[in-house]
Amino acid sequence: MAEPGLAPTPLNRMSTAEHVANTLREQLLERRFSPGSRLPEDEIAAAMRVSRNSVREGLQILAAEGLIQRSLHRGAVVSELDGEALEDVYQARRIVEVGSLRAGAPAPDGWVAGILAALAQMEAAAAAEDLPELLEADRRFHESIVAGASSERIRRFYRNLQTEIRLTRSWQDEREPSPVFVARHRDVAEAIQAGDLVAAERLLKDIIDAGEDRVRKSLATMPVTAGEGEDSG
């Protein structure tokens, strides 16, 4: 009787599928696809010069992460958070960011440098009234905080949370004035530099709470588009 062992694994195909998933995830994070839009397998395969099987497997990875939905009639479509999912994502974000803040605080030197660099980028973008760059700097600021956990798995998980939030159509709508937005982040960075972990945690939670509140209010007033919710699979 043959010894039990691992089944053969198609390494090349799986690595290609992961590449497809990673590329599409980045494009979702950059909002190149709007919520509810289709992701046609044939067009993606042609653009990336990979097989449709690899694209299908890559989309399956994103579906497992909740970033897309698949249905029989529409294929793969970009997801959007509803109120319940929004609450869950922001709660996960609080836990990850605050936990990472606590983990990074005992050895802050290199960790704080990344936070300060992102803050400087935010200040420059605000001065130039460059909203896309400001939002990118905001993402880097919070990812720099998460770097305090020194965990690649936590970093990947947090990146997925950020992507889910940014898939919400209302995410780039009405925001705080840029000077207020930047000042909130500066206060967090200064508290970290001063070693005041209690203040840093409180200020960080305030930023996250304010972000959730803005998105939730915008979702509540957003009209439902024709066909929304159909064929969601």
Domain count, the chain: 2
Check whether residue 216 and residue 114 sit in a common domain: yes
Q: What pLDDT is recorded for position 75? A: 84
Check whether residue 158 and residue 136 sit in a common domain: yes
| Residue with the larger pLDDT of the pair 156 and 141 | 141
Residue 223 banded pLDDT, cuts 50, 70, 90: low
Check whether residue 39 and residue 105 sit in a common domain: no
Q: What pLDDT is recorded for position 14? A: 53
The predicted-structure confidence for 13-26, as pLDDT tens digits, reads as follows 458 888 898 898 88
SS3 8: coil
Q: What pLDDT is recorded for position 222? A: 60
Q: What pLDDT is recorded for position 172? A: 54
- Please tell me what DSSP assigns to residue 69: E
Question: Residue 29 above 80 pLDDT?
Answer: no
The predicted-structure confidence for 62-120, as pLDDT tens digits, reads as follows 888 888 888 777 788 888 777 788 889 999 999 999 999 999 988 767 789 999 999 99
Q: What pLDDT is recorded for position 113? A: 92
Check whether residue 178 and residue 130 sit in a common domain: yes
Q: What is the mean pLDDT of the chain?
A: 83
Instruction: Give the H/E segment covering residue 224.
Output: none
Q: What pLDDT is recorded for position 104? A: 92
Radius of gyration of the chain (CA): 20
Examine residue 7 and state whether it is found in any structural domain, yes or no.
no
Q: Please, what's the largest Cα pairwise distance for the chain?
A: 72
The predicted-structure confidence for 122-144, as pLDDT tens digits, reads as follows 999 999 999 889 988 999 999 99
Check whether residue 58 and residue 90 sit in a common domain: no
Question: Residue 9 above 60 pLDDT?
Answer: no
Q: Tokens in use for 139?
A: 């993402």
Examine residue 168 and state whether it is found in any structural domain, yes or no.
yes
- Please tell me what DSSP assigns to residue 36: T
Check whether residue 144 and residue 54 sit in a common domain: no
Check whether residue 210 and residue 98 sit in a common domain: yes
Examine residue 2 and state whether it is found in any structural domain, yes or no.
no
- CA dihedral (140, 222, 212, 93) positive or negative: negative
Examine residue 163 and state whether it is found in any structural domain, yes or no.
yes
- Spatial CB neighbours of 127, under 8 Å, sequence gap ≥ 6: none
The phi, psi pair for 78, rounded to 5°, reads -70, 135
| Residue with the larger pLDDT of the pair 232 and 197 | 197
DSSP states of 163-208: HHHHTSGGGGSS---HHHHHHHHHHHHHHHHTT-HHHHHHHHHHHH
Domain that holds residue 121: 83-221
Residue 185: name the closest of 233, 142, 230 by CA.
142
Query: Residue 34 sits in a domain of what CATH number?
Result: 1.10.10.10
Give dist(CA 216, CA 112) in Å, integer: 31
Question: Residue 170 above 70 pLDDT?
Answer: no
Check whether residue 74 and residue 97 sit in a common domain: no
Check whether residue 87 and residue 18 sit in a common domain: no
Check whether residue 95 and residue 169 sit in a common domain: yes
- Spatial CB neighbours of 200, under 8 Å, sequence gap ≥ 6: 101, 105, 188, 191, 192
Check whether residue 133 and residue 217 sit in a common domain: yes
Residue 28 banded pLDDT, cuts 50, 70, 90: confident
Check whether residue 193 and residue 88 sit in a common domain: yes
Give dist(CA 68, CA 75) in Å, integer: 10
Residue 96: name the closest of 29, 160, 149 by CA.
149
Question: Residue 4 above 60 pLDDT?
Answer: no
Query: Residue 105 sits in a domain of what CATH number?
Result: 1.20.120.530
Q: Which of 78, 94, 117 is the last residue of a domain?
A: 78
